[in-house]
Amino acid sequence: MSSDQIPAVNVDDLPADLSAAGAPLLVDVREPDEWSAGHIAGALHIPMGELAARLDEVPREQDVVVVCRSGRRSAAVTTYLAQGGWQVRNLTDGMVAWAARGRPMISEAGSAPTVL
């Protein structure tokens, strides 16, 4: 699947309230330190290297949006999941765009959330 064929969505296309009915599930594929520094509330954290072992955690019956820092790792994961039959899209420009748009983030590091 070439990069222009990867199903994608940008931050502005996502609802502000991701807990609302019908909102997609966000799967964050960044590393644990990135996740801890700042992530989207309600996202499912599955580091890219753990995905194959944790596929059963990604629902097939729900719209899934994959996110990383810049959209590159998530594009690879999106391709993998799409080939496996998931209804999935890549969040273009990733957490960098999310933060730039002022969208809410939380941190597990005890400090203000940030994107590493």
Active site positions, annotated: 68
CA pair distance 47, 70, nearest whole angstrom: 15
Q: Identify the bridge partners of residue 8 per DSSP, sorted by sequence position.
A: 90
Order of strands, edge to edge, in the sheet holding 25-28? 8-9, 88-91, 64-67, 25-28, 44-45
